Structure 1
Amino acid sequence: MRARINPHQISPKALQPMLDMEAYLAGCGLEHSLIELVKMRVSQINGCAYCLHMHSRDARAAGESEERLHLLAAWRESSLYTDRERAALAWAESLTRIADTAAPDADFEPLRACFTEAEIVDLTLLITTINAWNRIAVGFRSQHPRTWAKAAA
């Protein structure tokens, strides 16, 4: 697979608002581990190898366990995730698959027990932003670094 175009080189001004949103989200108060889990799960659903590579690396660097990263696709069947993480992951899946789910109350209501209203807004913007990045990366066939090739050499 080859990259189609590099949007960062072609139109950096167009991507600047997305980068500004990332900067806001990084300091909004949501836990870094939660942010990375949400980004990973959405990227799994969207099949974005570039973002999966980036966010698994970032999560590991921040101390996330391999076990939790490996089980993330099956988080509903695992006891490794907190109620707060589970509510966020359910909301992330619901919004990512919005054409099928219509963001039901069953996915929204658990947020109220674990997040403030401001955190729910921030979480929703986080989910929206990673979905946008996934579409940019998948659409333009952005290539993740091939770190395994370097390690094998």
Structure 2
Amino acid sequence: MSNIRINLGKAWPEGKAPLLALNAAIADSGLDRGLVDLINIRASQINQCAFCLDIHTKDARAAGETEQRIYALSAWRETSFFTDEERAVLALTEEITLVADGGVDDEVFAEAAKLFDEATLGKVIMAIIAINAWNRLGVTQRLPVGGYQPAAAAG
């Protein structure tokens, strides 16, 4: 896909601003950057948002994530590459992203609640919600893919 449908940042910047503020709040919340990267990539895989996958895989690599873990992310249950906390976050990411498939499973939620305090769990949930909103924007707008460079690499 190459033709952008609409740039909502230009069409309605006041509508995009709260999502940018949510991203900033998540970034400043103290939530582990690696967890946010995994959330962003996994939700973007499920939602088939190429624009977000381009951004978040590049950001994750720039922050030190390994190629091996990124490549295996869609099959995370079949590897030993991820910690218990990461596995709980990935399971919760899938449940929230696919909420129309039956809601958020009680066991998945309980496992995450066992591993994280309530404040951290709240941050994880909001990070999942945020990327799902961005994925829907990316897919709907059909933004061009491939040109993004992480800030660390842009210098």
Indicate the TM-score class for this superposition, using the shorter chain for normalisation. over 0.9
TM-score by length of 1: 0.93
Counterpart in 1 of 2:94?
A: 93
Counterpart in 2 of 1:81?
A: 82
Counterpart in 2 of 1:52?
A: 53
Counterpart in 2 of 1:112?
A: 113
Q: Which runs of 5+ in 2 are unaligned?
A: 149-155
Mapping for residues 2-151 of structure 1, pairs under 5 Å = 2-146=3-147
* 1:131 CA displacement: 0.4
Please list the CA deviations of residues 53-101 of structure 1 after superposition, one character each: whole Å capped at 9, or x if unmatched.
0000000000000000000000011100000000000000001111113
Other structure's SS at 1:3 match: coil
User: C-alpha distance in 2, partners of 1:43/1:67?
Assistant: 18
User: C-alpha distance in 2, partners of 1:129/1:112?
Assistant: 20
Size of the aligned set, in residue pairs, is 147
Deviates more, 1:107-116 or 1:66-75: 107-116
Please list the CA deviations of residues 2-36 of structure 1 after superposition, one character each: whole Å capped at 9, or x if unmatched.
11011112111110000000000001111111100
What is the identity percentage for the equivalent residue pairs of Structure 1 and Structure 2?
43
Deviates more, 1:90-99 or 1:5-14: 5-14
User: C-alpha distance in 1, partners of 2:128/2:38?
Assistant: 11
TM-score by length of 2: 0.92
Please list the CA deviations of residues 118-141 of structure 1 after superposition, one character each: whole Å capped at 9, or x if unmatched.
111111111111000000110111
Counterpart in 1 of 2:153?
A: none
Counterpart in 2 of 1:150?
A: none
Other structure's SS at 1:110 match: helix
User: C-alpha distance in 1, partners of 2:22/2:113?
Assistant: 23
* 1:146 CA displacement: 4.6
User: C-alpha distance in 2, partners of 1:145/1:71?
Assistant: 21
Root-mean-square deviation (CA, aligned residues, Å) is 1.1
User: C-alpha distance in 2, partners of 1:40/1:51?
Assistant: 8
